[in-house]
Amino acid sequence: MTSIGKLLLCGAVAAIAIAISSAPSEAAKRRAAANCVGPAVCSHSCSQGTCQMNACGLDGKWHWAFLTPVCAAPHCPKKC
Per-residue pLDDT of 43-70, as tens digits, reads: 888 888 889 898 888 888 888 888 888 8
Query: For residue 43, how many other CB atoms are within 10 A of its CB?
Result: 20
User: 80 lies in a domain?
Assistant: no
Tell whether 52 and 27 lie within a shared domain: no
Tell whether 28 and 54 lie within a shared domain: no
Q: Look at the chain and report how many structural domains it folds into.
A: 2
* Spatial distance between the Cα atoms of 73 and 10, rounded to a whole number of angstroms: 62
User: 49 lies in a domain?
Assistant: yes
pLDDT digits (tens, 9 = 90+) for 12-41: 666 676 666 655 666 566 555 557 877 888
Show the domain range for 45.
41-75
User: 47 lies in a domain?
Assistant: yes
Contact 39, 77 (CB under 8 A): no
Tell whether 4 and 28 lie within a shared domain: yes
